[in-house]
Amino acid sequence: MSKKLFLLILIFFTTACQSIKDGLSGKKYENSDEFLVIKKNPLVLPPDFNSLPTPEDVVTSSKIENIENEIDDLLSSIKDQEEEIQTTEENDTENFVLEKINE
Q: What is the rounded CA–CA span in Å between residue 100 and residue 57? A: 64
Do residues 25 and 19 lie in contact, with contact meaning Cβ atoms separated by under 8 Å?
no
Q: pLDDT tens digits, residue range 1-14?
A: 788 888 888 777 76
* Mean pLDDT within 55-61: 64
Q: What is the rounded CA–CA span in Å between residue 102 and residue 96? A: 10
The pLDDT value given to residue 6: 83
> Does 49 score more than 70 pLDDT?
yes
Give the pTM: 0.29
Share of the chain above pLDDT 70, in %: 68
